[in-house]
Protein backbone atom coordinates (compact mmCIF):
# COMPACT_ATOMS: atom_id res chain seq x y z
CA UNK A 1 0.00 0.00 0.00
CA UNK A 2 2.92 2.35 0.69
CA UNK A 3 4.25 1.77 -2.84
CA UNK A 4 0.80 2.56 -4.31
CA UNK A 5 0.69 5.73 -2.21
CA UNK A 6 4.04 6.95 -3.54
CA UNK A 7 3.12 6.03 -7.13
CA UNK A 8 -0.16 8.00 -6.96
CA UNK A 9 1.62 10.99 -5.37
CA UNK A 10 4.30 11.03 -8.10
CA UNK A 11 1.68 10.62 -10.87
CA UNK A 12 -0.41 13.40 -9.32
CA UNK A 13 2.52 15.81 -9.22
CA UNK A 14 3.52 15.00 -12.80
CA UNK A 15 -0.09 15.61 -13.89
CA UNK A 16 -0.20 18.93 -12.04
CA UNK A 17 3.07 20.04 -13.64
CA UNK A 18 1.72 19.06 -17.06
CA UNK A 19 -1.54 20.96 -16.47
CA UNK A 20 0.32 24.07 -15.28
CA UNK A 21 2.65 23.95 -18.29
CA UNK A 22 -0.25 23.37 -20.69
CA UNK A 23 -2.31 26.27 -19.31
CA UNK A 24 0.72 28.54 -19.20
CA UNK A 25 1.46 27.97 -22.88
CA UNK A 26 -1.98 27.35 -24.38
CA UNK A 27 -4.02 30.53 -24.54
CA UNK A 28 -1.47 32.98 -23.12
CA UNK A 29 -1.63 35.13 -26.27
CA UNK A 30 -5.39 35.60 -25.99
CA UNK A 31 -6.29 39.24 -25.42
CA UNK A 32 -9.59 38.56 -23.67
CA UNK A 33 -9.31 40.01 -20.12
CA UNK A 34 -11.93 37.71 -18.60
CA UNK A 35 -10.22 34.66 -20.04
CA UNK A 36 -6.77 35.71 -18.82
CA UNK A 37 -8.11 36.28 -15.30
CA UNK A 38 -9.48 32.74 -15.22
CA UNK A 39 -6.27 31.31 -16.65
CA UNK A 40 -4.10 33.04 -14.05
CA UNK A 41 -6.53 32.04 -11.29
CA UNK A 42 -6.20 28.37 -12.10
CA UNK A 43 -2.42 28.64 -12.50
CA UNK A 44 -2.24 30.12 -8.98
CA UNK A 45 -4.49 27.41 -7.56
CA UNK A 46 -2.57 24.57 -9.26
CA UNK A 47 0.78 26.00 -8.08
CA UNK A 48 -0.37 25.96 -4.44
CA UNK A 49 -1.76 22.47 -4.97
CA UNK A 50 1.65 21.26 -6.19
CA UNK A 51 3.31 22.39 -2.96
CA UNK A 52 0.58 20.64 -0.95
CA UNK A 53 0.91 17.34 -2.82
CA UNK A 54 4.73 17.44 -2.57
CA UNK A 55 4.43 17.79 1.22
CA UNK A 56 2.39 14.55 1.19
CA UNK A 57 5.62 12.73 0.34
CA UNK A 58 7.02 13.45 3.80
CA UNK A 59 4.17 12.34 6.06
CA UNK A 60 4.70 8.58 5.63
CA UNK A 61 7.02 6.55 7.86
CA UNK A 62 7.43 2.74 7.75
CA UNK A 63 4.05 2.15 6.16
CA UNK A 64 2.28 4.54 8.53
CA UNK A 65 0.81 7.93 7.57
CA UNK A 66 0.76 10.94 9.85
CA UNK A 67 -2.57 12.10 11.27
CA UNK A 68 -3.21 15.87 11.43
CA UNK A 69 0.03 16.93 9.70
CA UNK A 70 0.03 20.68 10.34
CA UNK A 71 2.09 21.87 7.39
CA UNK A 72 0.29 19.72 4.80
CA UNK A 73 -3.20 20.57 6.04
CA UNK A 74 -2.34 24.28 5.93
CA UNK A 75 -1.18 24.02 2.33
CA UNK A 76 -4.34 22.18 1.24
CA UNK A 77 -6.42 24.70 3.16
CA UNK A 78 -4.64 27.59 1.37
CA UNK A 79 -5.37 25.93 -1.98
CA UNK A 80 -9.03 25.57 -0.97
CA UNK A 81 -9.26 29.26 0.04
CA UNK A 82 -7.75 30.34 -3.28
CA UNK A 83 -10.08 28.10 -5.24
CA UNK A 84 -13.26 29.18 -3.42
CA UNK A 85 -12.57 32.92 -3.66
CA UNK A 86 -11.78 32.66 -7.37
CA UNK A 87 -14.72 30.30 -8.01
CA UNK A 88 -16.99 32.87 -6.33
CA UNK A 89 -15.75 35.37 -8.93
CA UNK A 90 -16.91 32.95 -11.64
CA UNK A 91 -20.41 33.23 -10.14
CA UNK A 92 -20.23 37.02 -10.09
CA UNK A 93 -19.23 37.62 -6.45
CA UNK A 94 -15.95 39.56 -6.27
CA UNK A 95 -14.91 38.47 -2.76
CA UNK A 96 -11.33 38.06 -3.94
CA UNK A 97 -11.01 41.84 -4.40
CA UNK A 98 -11.42 42.42 -0.67
CA UNK A 99 -7.99 42.11 1.06
CA UNK A 100 -9.76 41.49 4.38
CA UNK A 101 -11.17 38.21 3.02
CA UNK A 102 -7.68 36.97 2.17
CA UNK A 103 -6.28 38.11 5.52
CA UNK A 104 -9.20 36.67 7.51
CA UNK A 105 -9.03 33.25 5.82
CA UNK A 106 -5.25 32.88 5.45
CA UNK A 107 -4.19 34.10 8.89
CA UNK A 108 -4.98 30.71 10.42
CA UNK A 109 -2.73 28.58 8.20
CA UNK A 110 0.00 31.23 8.49
CA UNK A 111 -0.10 31.07 12.31
CA UNK A 112 -0.14 27.26 12.19
CA UNK A 113 2.85 27.14 9.83
CA UNK A 114 4.82 29.46 12.13
CA UNK A 115 3.74 27.29 15.07
CA UNK A 116 4.84 24.20 13.13
CA UNK A 117 8.36 25.50 12.43
CA UNK A 118 8.80 26.70 16.04
CA UNK A 119 7.89 23.21 17.27
CA UNK A 120 10.19 21.63 14.71
CA UNK A 121 13.14 23.81 15.73
CA UNK A 122 12.49 23.18 19.43
CA UNK A 123 12.05 19.43 18.79
CA UNK A 124 8.57 19.54 20.35
CA UNK A 125 6.65 18.59 17.23
CA UNK A 126 4.94 15.27 17.77
CA UNK A 127 3.99 13.20 14.72
CA UNK A 128 0.81 11.21 15.28
CA UNK A 129 0.33 7.92 13.42
CA UNK A 130 -2.62 6.37 15.27
CA UNK A 131 -5.51 7.54 17.38
CA UNK A 132 -4.68 5.28 20.32
CA UNK A 133 -2.75 7.27 22.90
CA UNK A 134 -3.02 10.44 20.84
CA UNK A 135 -3.66 12.75 23.82
CA UNK A 136 -0.56 13.35 25.98
CA UNK A 137 -0.69 13.26 29.78
CA UNK A 138 -2.67 16.17 31.21
CA UNK A 139 -0.61 19.04 32.60
CA UNK A 140 2.52 18.40 30.56
CA UNK A 141 4.00 20.81 28.02
CA UNK A 142 3.19 18.32 25.25
CA UNK A 143 -0.46 18.34 26.34
CA UNK A 144 -0.63 22.15 26.10
CA UNK A 145 0.95 22.08 22.64
CA UNK A 146 -1.44 19.33 21.55
CA UNK A 147 -4.51 21.27 22.75
CA UNK A 148 -3.33 24.42 20.95
CA UNK A 149 -2.66 22.43 17.79
CA UNK A 150 -6.11 20.80 17.81
CA UNK A 151 -7.79 24.14 18.58
CA UNK A 152 -6.21 25.82 15.53
CA UNK A 153 -7.08 22.85 13.34
CA UNK A 154 -10.65 23.13 14.60
CA UNK A 155 -10.73 26.78 13.53
CA UNK A 156 -9.51 25.75 10.07
CA UNK A 157 -12.28 23.15 9.79
CA UNK A 158 -14.84 25.83 10.72
CA UNK A 159 -13.33 28.04 8.05
CA UNK A 160 -14.00 25.26 5.52
CA UNK A 161 -17.69 25.45 6.45
CA UNK A 162 -17.62 29.25 6.15
CA UNK A 163 -16.07 29.07 2.67
CA UNK A 164 -18.58 26.46 1.54
CA UNK A 165 -21.35 28.79 2.64
CA UNK A 166 -19.72 31.64 0.74
CA UNK A 167 -19.50 29.54 -2.42
CA UNK A 168 -23.13 28.42 -2.11
CA UNK A 169 -24.19 32.05 -1.64
CA UNK A 170 -22.25 33.01 -4.80
CA UNK A 171 -23.98 30.21 -6.74
CA UNK A 172 -27.42 31.36 -5.56
CA UNK A 173 -26.49 34.90 -6.60
CA UNK A 174 -25.53 33.61 -10.06
CA UNK A 175 -28.80 31.68 -10.37
CA UNK A 176 -30.79 34.83 -9.61
CA UNK A 177 -28.91 37.03 -12.07
CA UNK A 178 -28.18 34.62 -14.92
CA UNK A 179 -29.70 35.14 -18.33
CA UNK A 180 -32.94 33.28 -18.88
CA UNK A 181 -32.21 32.32 -22.48
CA UNK A 182 -28.80 30.91 -23.36
CA UNK A 183 -27.68 28.87 -26.34
CA UNK A 184 -27.27 25.10 -26.17
CA UNK A 185 -23.57 25.60 -26.84
CA UNK A 186 -23.14 27.96 -23.90
CA UNK A 187 -25.33 25.81 -21.66
CA UNK A 188 -23.20 22.73 -22.31
CA UNK A 189 -19.97 24.62 -21.58
CA UNK A 190 -21.41 26.08 -18.37
CA UNK A 191 -22.55 22.62 -17.28
CA UNK A 192 -19.05 21.20 -17.77
CA UNK A 193 -17.50 24.06 -15.79
CA UNK A 194 -20.00 23.70 -12.93
CA UNK A 195 -19.24 19.99 -12.73
CA UNK A 196 -15.50 20.75 -12.52
CA UNK A 197 -15.98 23.37 -9.79
CA UNK A 198 -18.13 21.04 -7.69
CA UNK A 199 -15.67 18.17 -8.23
CA UNK A 200 -12.67 20.24 -7.11
CA UNK A 201 -14.48 21.34 -3.95
CA UNK A 202 -15.48 17.74 -3.17
CA UNK A 203 -12.00 16.27 -3.75
CA UNK A 204 -10.25 19.03 -1.77
CA UNK A 205 -12.57 18.32 1.16
CA UNK A 206 -11.91 14.57 0.82
CA UNK A 207 -8.16 15.24 0.85
CA UNK A 208 -8.54 17.20 4.08
CA UNK A 209 -10.57 14.37 5.61
CA UNK A 210 -7.88 11.93 4.46
CA UNK A 211 -5.34 13.76 6.63
CA UNK A 212 -7.48 13.07 9.69
CA UNK A 213 -7.52 9.31 9.00
CA UNK A 214 -4.57 6.87 9.26
CA UNK A 215 -5.39 5.06 6.00
CA UNK A 216 -2.95 5.05 3.08
CA UNK A 217 -5.53 3.59 0.71
CA UNK A 218 -7.90 6.53 1.27
CA UNK A 219 -5.12 8.99 0.36
CA UNK A 220 -4.30 6.97 -2.76
CA UNK A 221 -7.97 6.96 -3.80
CA UNK A 222 -8.18 10.75 -3.42
CA UNK A 223 -4.99 11.15 -5.49
CA UNK A 224 -6.43 9.00 -8.29
CA UNK A 225 -9.70 10.98 -8.29
CA UNK A 226 -7.77 14.24 -8.49
CA UNK A 227 -5.66 12.95 -11.39
CA UNK A 228 -8.83 12.07 -13.30
CA UNK A 229 -10.31 15.51 -12.63
CA UNK A 230 -7.11 17.27 -13.74
CA UNK A 231 -7.11 15.37 -17.03
CA UNK A 232 -10.77 16.27 -17.53
CA UNK A 233 -9.94 19.90 -16.77
CA UNK A 234 -7.52 19.98 -19.70
CA UNK A 235 -10.33 19.03 -22.08
CA UNK A 236 -12.75 21.57 -20.56
CA UNK A 237 -10.05 24.26 -20.66
CA UNK A 238 -9.32 23.50 -24.33
CA UNK A 239 -13.02 23.83 -25.18
CA UNK A 240 -13.20 27.08 -23.23
CA UNK A 241 -10.24 28.47 -25.19
CA UNK A 242 -11.95 27.49 -28.43
CA UNK A 243 -15.20 29.22 -27.46
CA UNK A 244 -13.32 32.32 -26.29
CA UNK A 245 -11.46 32.49 -29.60
CA UNK A 246 -14.75 32.17 -31.45
CA UNK A 247 -16.17 35.10 -29.47
CA UNK A 248 -13.05 37.17 -29.98
CA UNK A 249 -12.96 36.47 -33.73
CA UNK A 250 -16.66 37.21 -34.16
CA UNK A 251 -17.73 33.71 -35.23
CA UNK A 252 -19.25 32.64 -31.90
CA UNK A 253 -22.75 33.75 -32.92
CA UNK A 254 -22.53 31.75 -36.15
CA UNK A 255 -21.62 28.62 -34.18
CA UNK A 256 -24.50 29.23 -31.76
CA UNK A 257 -26.94 29.66 -34.67
CA UNK A 258 -25.68 26.47 -36.30
CA UNK A 259 -26.01 24.29 -33.18
CA UNK A 260 -29.31 25.86 -32.10
CA UNK A 261 -30.84 25.40 -35.55
CA UNK A 262 -29.90 21.71 -35.55
CA UNK A 263 -31.85 21.25 -32.31
CA UNK A 264 -34.75 23.42 -33.44
CA UNK A 265 -35.24 21.63 -36.76
CA UNK A 266 -35.78 18.33 -34.89
CA UNK A 267 -38.48 19.82 -32.68
CA UNK A 268 -42.09 19.74 -33.86
CA UNK A 269 -44.07 21.39 -31.07
CA UNK A 270 -43.84 25.17 -30.53
CA UNK A 271 -41.51 25.49 -33.48
CA UNK A 272 -41.93 28.69 -35.53
CA UNK A 273 -40.20 27.10 -38.54
CA UNK A 274 -43.10 24.67 -38.99
CA UNK A 275 -45.83 27.29 -38.57
CA UNK A 276 -47.98 28.64 -41.36
CA UNK A 277 -46.79 32.23 -40.90
CA UNK A 278 -43.14 31.84 -39.95
CA UNK A 279 -41.19 35.08 -39.65
CA UNK A 280 -37.50 35.89 -39.31
CA UNK A 281 -38.20 37.66 -36.00
CA UNK A 282 -39.92 34.59 -34.51
CA UNK A 283 -37.01 32.26 -35.32
CA UNK A 284 -34.42 34.81 -34.15
CA UNK A 285 -36.28 35.25 -30.84
CA UNK A 286 -36.40 31.53 -30.10
CA UNK A 287 -32.68 31.26 -30.92
CA UNK A 288 -31.98 34.38 -28.83
CA UNK A 289 -29.95 36.04 -31.61
CA UNK A 290 -30.25 39.20 -33.66
CA UNK A 291 -32.56 38.91 -36.69
CA UNK A 292 -29.96 40.35 -39.09
CA UNK A 293 -27.30 37.93 -37.81
CA UNK A 294 -29.67 35.03 -38.48
CA UNK A 295 -30.51 36.35 -41.95
CA UNK A 296 -26.83 36.82 -42.80
CA UNK A 297 -25.97 33.35 -41.49
CA UNK A 298 -28.61 31.67 -43.67
CA UNK A 299 -27.63 33.60 -46.77
CA UNK A 300 -23.85 33.21 -46.30
CA UNK A 301 -23.94 29.52 -45.38
CA UNK A 302 -26.83 28.24 -47.48
CA UNK A 303 -27.10 30.81 -50.26
CA UNK A 304 -30.87 31.22 -49.81
CA UNK A 305 -33.15 33.96 -48.64
CA UNK A 306 -34.97 33.35 -45.37
CA UNK A 307 -38.31 32.54 -47.06
CA UNK A 308 -36.64 30.11 -49.50
CA UNK A 309 -34.75 28.45 -46.63
CA UNK A 310 -37.96 28.03 -44.59
CA UNK A 311 -39.71 26.46 -47.58
CA UNK A 312 -36.80 24.05 -48.07
CA UNK A 313 -36.75 23.02 -44.40
CA UNK A 314 -40.51 22.43 -44.37
CA UNK A 315 -40.30 20.20 -47.43
CA UNK A 316 -37.30 18.29 -46.05
CA UNK A 317 -39.26 17.72 -42.85
CA UNK A 318 -42.23 16.45 -44.88
CA UNK A 319 -39.98 14.06 -46.79
CA UNK A 320 -38.42 12.81 -43.54
CA UNK A 321 -41.80 12.13 -41.93
CA UNK A 322 -43.11 10.43 -45.07
CA UNK A 323 -40.13 8.10 -45.18
CA UNK A 324 -39.87 7.29 -41.48
CA UNK A 325 -43.46 7.33 -40.20
CA UNK A 326 -46.90 6.08 -41.15
CA UNK A 327 -48.63 9.34 -40.32
CA UNK A 328 -51.42 10.58 -42.56
CA UNK A 329 -50.27 12.99 -45.25
CA UNK A 330 -52.81 15.57 -44.11
CA UNK A 331 -51.39 15.30 -40.57
CA UNK A 332 -47.86 15.80 -41.89
CA UNK A 333 -49.02 18.85 -43.84
CA UNK A 334 -50.46 20.41 -40.68
CA UNK A 335 -47.37 19.49 -38.61
CA UNK A 336 -45.05 21.26 -41.05
CA UNK A 337 -47.04 24.49 -41.30
CA UNK A 338 -49.08 24.04 -44.51
CA UNK A 339 -52.58 25.45 -44.31
CA UNK A 340 -53.99 22.74 -46.55
CA UNK A 341 -53.04 19.32 -47.85
CA UNK A 342 -53.23 20.65 -51.41
CA UNK A 343 -50.68 23.40 -50.69
CA UNK A 344 -48.24 20.81 -49.42
CA UNK A 345 -48.86 18.56 -52.48
CA UNK A 346 -48.12 21.44 -54.84
CA UNK A 347 -44.91 22.52 -53.10
CA UNK A 348 -43.72 18.93 -52.60
CA UNK A 349 -44.24 17.96 -56.24
CA UNK A 350 -42.40 21.08 -57.44
CA UNK A 351 -39.43 20.21 -55.21
CA UNK A 352 -39.21 16.39 -55.52
CA UNK A 353 -40.92 15.87 -58.92
CA UNK A 354 -43.42 13.45 -57.37
CA UNK A 355 -46.40 13.54 -55.04
CA UNK A 356 -46.03 12.78 -51.31
CA UNK A 357 -47.81 9.44 -51.79
CA UNK A 358 -45.43 8.47 -54.60
CA UNK A 359 -42.42 9.55 -52.50
CA UNK A 360 -43.53 7.36 -49.59
CA UNK A 361 -44.19 4.41 -51.91
CA UNK A 362 -40.75 4.70 -53.54
CA UNK A 363 -39.05 4.91 -50.15
CA UNK A 364 -40.89 1.83 -48.95
CA UNK A 365 -39.92 -0.11 -52.07
CA UNK A 366 -36.23 0.82 -51.65
CA UNK A 367 -36.19 -0.20 -48.00
Task: Tell which of 232, 249, 266 closes a domain.
Answer: 249
d(CA 281, CA 286): 9
d(CA 139, CA 144): 7
d(CA 269, CA 308): 22
Residues 128 and 68 in one domain: yes
64 neighbors 144 (Cβ within 8 angstroms): no
252 neighbors 32 (Cβ within 8 angstroms): no
User: Which tens digits make up the pLDDT trace of 220-234?
Assistant: 999 999 999 999 999
Burial 282-313 (b: 16+ CB within 10 A, else e): ebbebbebebeebbebbeeeeeeebeebbbeb
Residues 229 and 290 in one domain: no
181 neighbors 289 (Cβ within 8 angstroms): no
Distances from the Cα of 353 to the Cα of 219, 313, 359, angstroms: 70, 17, 9
Residues 299 and 156 in one domain: no
Residues 104 and 199 in one domain: yes
- CATH for 47: 1.20.1070
SS3 148: helix
Residues 221 and 179 in one domain: yes
User: Which tens digits make up the pLDDT trace of 314-325?
Assistant: 999 999 898 888
**What pLDDT, on the 0 to 100 scale, is given for residue 296?**
79
Residues 9 and 103 in one domain: yes
Q: What's the burial of 281, exposed, middle or buried (CB within 10 Å: 0-12/13-18/19+)?
A: exposed
Residues 123 and 47 in one domain: yes
d(CA 51, CA 350): 71
Residues 6+ apart with CB under 8 A from 327: 321, 335
**Long-range contacts formed by 324-331: CB under 8 A, 24+ apart:** 329/356, 329/357, 329/360
Residues 186 and 277 in one domain: no
**What pLDDT, on the 0 to 100 scale, is given for residue 141?**
58
Task: Tell which of 207, 230, 249 closes a domain.
Answer: 249
d(CA 180, CA 288): 10
- CATH for 263: 1.10.10.60
Residues 245 and 276 in one domain: no
User: What's the domain range around 261?
Assistant: 254-366
Task: Tell which of 249, 281, 310 closes a domain.
Answer: 249
Stretch (H or E) spanning 170: helix 141-177
Give 10-residue mean pLDDT values along the chain (367 residues). 91 95 85 80 92 92 86 92 90 87 88 86 80 60 69 84 91 82 70 91 92 90 95 88 67 70 81 85 82 81 85 90 88 88 90 89 66
Residues 45 and 190 in one domain: yes
Residues 6+ apart with CB under 8 A from 39: 23, 27, 28, 30
Residues 107 and 234 in one domain: yes
How many independent structural domains does the chain possess? 2
Residues 239 and 261 in one domain: no
**What pLDDT, on the 0 to 100 scale, is given for residue 177?**
79
- The crossing angle, in degrees rounded to 10, of helices 280-287 and 252-265 is 100
**What pLDDT, on the 0 to 100 scale, is given for residue 116?**
85
Amino acid sequence: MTLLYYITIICLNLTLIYVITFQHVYGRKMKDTHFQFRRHSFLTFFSILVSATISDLFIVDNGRIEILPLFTICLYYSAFVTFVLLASAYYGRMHYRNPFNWFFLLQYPLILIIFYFIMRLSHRYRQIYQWEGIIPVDGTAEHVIFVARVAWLGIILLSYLFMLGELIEAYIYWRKHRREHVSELESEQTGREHFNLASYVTILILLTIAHILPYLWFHSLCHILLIGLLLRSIRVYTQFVRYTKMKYNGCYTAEIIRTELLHLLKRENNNPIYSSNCTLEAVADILNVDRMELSDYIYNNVGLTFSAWISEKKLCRCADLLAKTDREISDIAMATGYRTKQAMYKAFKARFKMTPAEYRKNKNLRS
